[in-house]
Amino acid sequence: MTERDVARKRWAGQQPVAPLFSLRLDRLPLVVPVSLSLAVCCVVGVVKLHVGPLLRRQPPLTSSNQLSAREGYKAVRYAVKKINDKDSHNIILSYLIHGCYKDTLESLVASTGLNVTTAQLEDMEKRKRILHSALEGKALDAIHLTEQMSPDLLENNKDLLFDLLSLHFVELICSRKYTEAIEFGQAKLTPFGKVQKYVEKLEDFMALLAYDEPEKSPMFHLLSLEYRQHVVDNLNRAILANAYMPSYSKLERIIQQATVVRQCLSEELGKDVLSPFSLKDFLKRS
Amino acid sequence: MANDSDQTHQQQHDLIGSYFLDLWRLKSQTASASHSKDVNMTNPDNEHEQLEQDDDDDEPVPTELDTLNSSGWFSIVLPDKLSVKYPSVNLHGHDVGVVQANCPAPVKRLFYYFEMYVKNAGAKGNVAIGFTNEGFNLRRQPGKNGQVVGTVEKDVKGRLYPTVAVHSQNEEVSVNFGKDPFLFDIKAYEAAQRAKQDTSIERISIPQTASYGIVRSYLQHYGYEETLNVFDEANQTSVPPVTGFHDNGFNEHAMYALNHRKILRKLIMNGQIDDALRNLHEWYPETVQDDTSAICLMLHCQKFIELVRVGRLEEAVDYGRNQFEKFYNLKQYEDLVKDCATLLAYGEPSKSSVGYLLEDSQREKVADAVNAMILSTNPDLKDQGSCLHSYLEKLLRQLTACFLQKRLLNGNQGEAFHLQRVLLAKNS
């Protein structure tokens, strides 16, 4: 049985229903004394559609409900049909651009006739170089290239600048160049300490110096590939945002949306009707 | 007669074939609809936008005050049907003059807004504004000079009418349902509401392998062999390497016949239909065995289209005469064959209502159909439906269906699901 069938079955079930809202017909209309001035008095008649607690109960299956249910299912079928190839192409395109998959993109463009400009490809190449430098531990190169490409970016993004500098610091520590690390740390990282929010981070990094085997210290995660990837992700998003491009790929967005709406739905219909959404399971199903 | 397994095979094939014919038919209908609206058809984005708007525009909106159901003696609606005044002198508590709009507030949108202007506050200034249904339950959301003062959550199902009321001598108000610009900055409000929605969604974290897997399966599914190889290579040398899902048997069957599918897609996208047919007969004869099947129709029609494209019209006519006859007998194909034949009627067919046939999107449909047919010959195939879509489309369908189901549970109120809006949403 599809999920729709289950939901439909539940609707048709004769479950006792508490009234959703009782009309107080005996109540007189409330009268609002409005300012006596003759100025324009604008009022907002905004009806915010509040979903939450109402839907814990099942609406009774009146004839108007039935009609709207039928309309609803028609709408679903129709909307699903309208998903067209262009959407898929755009989504894949946006993923490849976001991840700087230049060669893959060129190959796909050749096979499908999608449109990508040389300017877009060049920008991707530049961004790729920046991100790869940072990932390979050449954070100073990354900073330099970023400043070349977008001069004000790091100035306006101090958090990111700190994170990139910290990558270089970590690189020095991992290469056991402790003197250099101290010098670099004091010159470049310590100045950030003037601002309260950086103090804790700064202390964590500097503390790495105290350990013979920093990878066994409590701050070992700062040396990890995951941390580096995290900083590089932020750098990628910052560069994209700076160029007025989306900082999240459309595919990410779609998956996020699907997760959210599916979770909402399984909450509303109840866990016995719709299992909680697991992206992994969904993708495994053929 | 063909034996049972052949027959079921055939039926299964035609389920796939007819799915793609339906897609073609949908395209034909929207193409002719937008063509007759004088929309520039060579701009596919435009056409897509049109489709998006149709859903919500159908809903009626209030335009003026209702003069039929009035509160009797206690209010007078002026001839412009946008102003109300209180006539008599009585100041009894019950003597409120309430007037509703001519139609309930539309619900298929993010929010609905209207304004009231106090022309004369009268003796006591007892005007009111809000929404009511058939009874007189006023819900009021007072505002002042263009700013939101408060809102009331709508916890009622059923249509609500924008309503105003007057109560004391000489009071007069007028309403604005949108004919004139609003004082309240509605655009800023809308933007703020949408931004709030976006932020809550942005916070959901998803594993990196999810996107990666979907993209990879897309390339596999549609037979983009070369691109897949480049993609795999890029990811092997990537830092950090993407791992963690090859193990799950993620869409294994999509590697089936990858090379053949790639070749066929290339041929079709290049308009080389004869070569494509030849290859199909050689490699997957069961898919083209029945010459009246949906897939054969698509291929023959495409050949016809290609001949028209290069101006070999006589050949096209001959080909049509030979091939289309057998399809004319099959009612379900009539309209599509007709579309193809119509191409001959125009000097500049690309500008006609059937011009869509000459676009790449038509070639792509045929390529996708052939691709699906080949996938269906996979002996390890468990689910026929998986031939039709890659995971990406499945995800999009799931998203659409869930969204609309959610709206349905809310009494069918709220915005329609617009995939474009999700795709174009601003990111911080």
Task: Using the predicted structure, report yes or no on whether residue B67 has a pLDDT greater than 80.
Answer: no
What would the pLDDT profile of A153-165 be if each residue is shown by its tens digit? 999 999 999 999 9
What would the pLDDT profile of A226-278 be if each residue is shown by its tens digit? 899 999 999 999 999 999 888 888 898 888 888 888 887 777 777 666 666 66
Nearest to A48 among B111, B210, B397 (CB): B111
The most confident of A93-102, B326-335, B404-413, by mean pLDDT: A93-102
Instruction: Give the number of C-alpha atoms closer than 13 A to the C-alpha of residue B39, restricted to the C-beta side.
Output: 18
For B114, which DSSP code?
A: -
Separation of first and last alpha carbons in chain A: 16
Q: What does the mean pLDDT of chain A come to?
A: 74
- Residue B29 · residue A81 · CB < 8 Å: no
Distance CA B305, CA B24 (A): 14
What confidence score (pLDDT) does residue A103 get?
Answer: 92
Mutate to test the interface with A, among B47, B118, B148, B156 (most CBs of A within 10 A): B118
- Summarize the confidence of residues B413-425 as an average pLDDT: 68
One-letter amino acid identity for B335? D
CB contact under 8 A, B391 and A283: yes
What confidence score (pLDDT) does residue A82 get?
Answer: 65
Task: Using the predicted structure, report yes or no on whether residue A117 has a pLDDT greater than 70.
Answer: yes
Nearest residue on chain A to B190, judged by CA atoms? A46
Give the residue extent of every domain in chain B: 11-37+252-389, 59-148+158-190, 207-244
What would the pLDDT profile of B362-390 be if each residue is shown by its tens digit? 999 999 999 999 999 988 887 777 888 88
- A135: phi then psi, degrees, rounded to nearest 5: -65, -35
Cβ neighbours, 10 Å, residue B122: 20
Ramachandran region, residue B72 (left: φ > 0; alpha: ψ -120 to 50; beta: rest): left
What confidence score (pLDDT) does residue A124 get?
Answer: 93
Cβ neighbours, 10 Å, residue B38: 7
- Summarize the confidence of residues B159-168 as an average pLDDT: 74
- Summarize the confidence of residues B292-313 as an average pLDDT: 92
For chains A and B, count residue pairs whose Cβ atoms are closer than 8 Å.
324
Q: Is A255 on the interface with B (CB under 8 A)?
A: yes
Token output for B193: 């509401």
Lowest-pLDDT choice from A64-78, B5-19, B258-272, B352-366: A64-78
Provide the pLDDT confidence category of residue B81 given band limits of 50, 70 and 90: confident
Provide the pLDDT confidence category of residue B48 given band limits of 50, 70 and 90: very low
Distance CA B408, CA A76 (A): 10
> Which residue has better confidence, B420 or A122?
A122
CB contact under 8 A, B406 and A268: yes
- From chain B, pick out residues whose CB is under 8 angstroms from the CB of A45: 105, 112-115, 129-131, 141, 162
Distance CA B363, CA B267 (A): 10
Give pairs for B356-359: CB < 8 Å, separation 24+: B356/B27, B356/B28, B356/B31, B356/B41, B357/B305, B358/B305, B358/B308, B358/B309, B359/B44
Q: What does the mean pLDDT of chain B come to?
A: 77
CB contact under 8 A, B390 and A86: no
CB contact under 8 A, A31 and B145: no
What confidence score (pLDDT) does residue B363 get?
Answer: 94
Q: Which residues of A49-75 are buried (b: 16+ CB within 10 A; e: fewer)?
A: bebeebbeebbeeeeeeeebbeebbeb
Cα–Cα nearest to B205, from A34, A227, A255, A235? A255
Distance CA B318, CA A5 (A): 50
The Cα-based distances of B311 to B305, B324, B349 in angstroms read: 10, 19, 11
What would the pLDDT profile of A126-136 be if each residue is shown by its tens digit? 999 999 999 99
Task: Using the predicted structure, report yes or no on whether residue B197 has a pLDDT greater than 90.
Answer: no
Task: Using the predicted structure, report yes or no on whether residue A187 has a pLDDT greater than 90.
Answer: yes
For B352, which DSSP code?
A: S
Task: Using the predicted structure, report yes or no on whether residue A67 has a pLDDT greater than 70.
Answer: no
Distance CA B90, CA B97 (A): 11
What would the pLDDT profile of B116-125 be if each residue is shown by its tens digit? 888 877 777 6
Cα–Cα nearest to B154, from A41, A53, A69? A53
Mutate to test the interface with A, among B30, B202, B419, B420 (most CBs of A within 10 A): B419
Shortest distance between the Cα of B318 and any Cα of chain A, in A, equals 31
Separation of first and last alpha carbons in chain B: 64
- From chain B, pick out residues whose CB is under 8 angstroms from the CB of A282: 394-395, 398
What confidence score (pLDDT) does residue B170 get?
Answer: 73
Task: Using the predicted structure, report yes or no on whether residue B400 has a pLDDT greater than 70.
Answer: yes
Q: Is B91 on the interface with A (CB under 8 A)?
A: no
Nearest to A29 among B128, B214, B360 (CB): B128
- Residue A198 · residue A162 · CB < 8 Å: yes
Q: Is A26 on the interface with B (CB under 8 A)?
A: no
Cβ neighbours, 10 Å, residue A107: 21
- B116: phi then psi, degrees, rounded to nearest 5: -130, 135
- From chain B, pick out residues whose CB is under 8 angstroms from the CB of A171: none
Instruction: Give the number of C-alpha atoms closer than 13 A to the C-alpha of residue A214, restricted to the C-beta side.
Output: 22
Nearest residue on chain B to A92, judged by CA atoms? B215
The most confident of A260-264, B132-136, B139-143, by mean pLDDT: A260-264
What are the DSSP E strand ranges found in B78-156? 83-85, 97-100, 115-120, 128-132, 143-144, 147-148, 152-154
Provide the pLDDT confidence category of residue A138 given band limits of 50, 70 and 90: very high
Shortest distance between the Cα of B35 and any Cα of chain A, in A, equals 18
The most confident of B7-16, B87-96, B188-197, by mean pLDDT: B188-197
B59-148+158-190 in CATH: which number? Answer: 2.60.120.920
- From chain A, pick out residues whose CB is under 8 angstroms from the CB of B34: none
- From chain B, pick out residues whose CB is under 8 angstroms from the CB of A73: 408
One-letter amino acid identity for A129? R
Distance CA B234, CA A101 (A): 7
- From chain A, pick out residues whose CB is under 8 angstroms from the CB of B393: 83, 88
Nearest to A29 among B96, B248, B391 (CB): B96
Cα–Cα nearest to B95, from B136, B133, B130? B136
Give pairs for A64-72: CB < 8 Å, separation 24+: A65/A11, A68/B408, A68/B411, A68/B412, A69/A8, A69/A11, A69/B408, A71/B412, A72/B404, A72/B405, A72/B407, A72/B408, A72/B412
CB contact under 8 A, B382 and A286: yes
Provide the pLDDT confidence category of residue B263 given band limits of 50, 70 and 90: very high
Q: Is B185 on the interface with A (CB under 8 A)?
A: no
CB contact under 8 A, B165 and A33: no
> Which residue has better confidence, B183 or A229?
A229
Distance CA A104, CA B226 (A): 9
- Summarize the confidence of residues B165-192 as an average pLDDT: 79
Mutate to test the interface with A, among B400, B410, B412 (most CBs of A within 10 A): B400
CB contact under 8 A, B218 and A253: no
Lowest-pLDDT choice from B132-146, B158-172, B176-190, B296-310: B132-146
Q: Which residues of A252-267 are buried (b: 16+ CB within 10 A; e: fewer)?
A: bbbbbbbbbbbebbbe
CB contact under 8 A, A82 and B51: yes
Task: Using the predicted structure, report yes or no on whether residue B325 has a pLDDT greater than 60.
Answer: yes
Distance CA B77, CA B61 (A): 19
Task: Using the predicted structure, report yes or no on whether residue B261 has a pLDDT greater than 80.
Answer: yes
Provide the pLDDT confidence category of residue A279 given band limits of 50, 70 and 90: low
Distance CA B401, CA A268 (A): 15
Cα–Cα nearest to B406, from A52, A189, A278, A97? A52
Counting residues of chain A whose pLDDT is more than 70, the rounded percentage is 65
Residues 6 or more apart whose CB falls under 8 angstroms from that of A188 comprise A165, A169
Provide the pLDDT confidence category of residue A81 given band limits of 50, 70 and 90: low
Task: Using the predicted structure, report yes or no on whether residue A68 has a pLDDT greater than 50.
Answer: yes
Distance CA A125, CA A233 (A): 16
Distance CA B326, CA A15 (A): 55
The ipTM estimated for the assembled molecules is: 0.74
* pTM of the complete model: 0.73
